[in-house]
Structure 1
Amino acid sequence: MEETTAKSQKVSITLRPKTDPTQTDKDIAHFFKDIATSTILLEQKDNEVSAQYAGRNELINDENESIADTIRNALIGLGVKLGGSYPQWKALVAGIVKN
């Protein structure tokens, strides 16, 4: 999505877990199901740039052929839901705005 006016601009990118197209295995190797989205919104108003992050529909991916993958996804997904990924997203958004 891109929106532009005389004094402001907005751009967003939405990321979603998907299967690896180079692998024959159809499992998503991600701790969230493929309905989860991560959206980064960048906005420039005059000389000020801001960024926001939003995670939506973050359901833990517990539909795997491997029990080890299911356990890994449950542990990582729980950590993310408890705020474990916040520092990474904060650093990414701050880095985008800084540059």
Structure 2
Amino acid sequence: MEHPRHNIPEHVHGAKKDLKHSYTAEDADDAEELFVVAKNKLLDVNNWDKTSVSASAVFQLADHHGNDLHRKAHKGDYIKINIPGPGSSTGGGFDWVHIEHITYDDYPDEHTESILMEVRPCPAPVNNNEEVAHFFKDDATSTFIIERHGKLLMAHYYGRNEVPNTEAHNTADVVRNAAVAAGALAGLSEMQWTNLIKGFLSFDE
């Protein structure tokens, strides 16, 4: 069995984040059902702000033309992110990421299963501007993993190669990206992702 964390991109430069939250079910059968719930929360990008224990950003799934999608996430989809404060002019007021990987693995004999979703900053699909529309450069990746081992559920977030995107041609975007990235590197994004992965494993309702 290959562990899903083996597929996380290598960290080369910039900042990195390793976040984890766990939940222990009553038994393995209960954990199997809760894994499905958590997996659906991960793929239900449009409701991440509601899933998060304390939301600060709003996420919207989009197609390769930038049109809103109202379904679960697929590999190749885009996510436009509305964070508090000034938006990216390059991205039409939003930060954009592209879903590069969604991988599900199931090993029934080992009572283990996992799902991985990885996203990367990208140009906005709503215009012809090829500049990355995000406060981090496109070296950065965000990898979400939910896994089950018997009755133990774990949700992970891995940020890699987080470098501020200060090479935009638009001066306002340079200033804005530097400011937002500084906040992210100071811990605001860590709070955002910690609250989200906690929400993936919240089963109160």
TM-score by length of 1: 0.91
1:37-76 pair list within 5 angstroms = 37-76=141-180
Q: Distance in 1 between matches of 2:126 and 2:186?
A: 32
Name stretches of at least 5 consecutive residues in structure 2 with no aligned partner.
1-102
- Residues 1:32 and 2:136 aligned together: yes
The structure 1 segments of at least 4 consecutive aligned residues displaced by more than 6 Å after TM superposition are none
Q: 1:55: Cα distance to partner?
A: 0.3
Other-structure match for 1:15: 119
Whose relative contact order is higher, 1 or 2, with alpha carbons under 8 Å and at least 6 apart? Answer: 2
Partner SS state of residue 117, structure 2: strand
- Residues 1:84 and 2:188 aligned together: yes
What residue identity is the alignment partner of 2:154? Answer: S
Q: Distance in 1 between matches of 2:183 and 2:145?
A: 24
Q: Distance in 2 between matches of 1:84 and 1:93?
A: 15
What residue identity is the alignment partner of 1:40? Answer: F
Name the % identity.
34
Name stretches of at least 5 consecutive residues in structure 1 with no aligned partner.
none
Which is worse superposed, 53-62 or 24-33? Answer: 24-33
Alignment RMSD (CA, Å): 1.2
Q: 1:47: Cα distance to partner?
A: 2.3
Partner SS state of residue 57, structure 1: strand
Other-structure match for 1:2: 104
Instruction: Deviation per CA, 1:23-70: give whole Å up to 9, x if none.
Output: 112222210011100001111112221101110011110111111100
The size of the alignment, in residue pairs, is 99
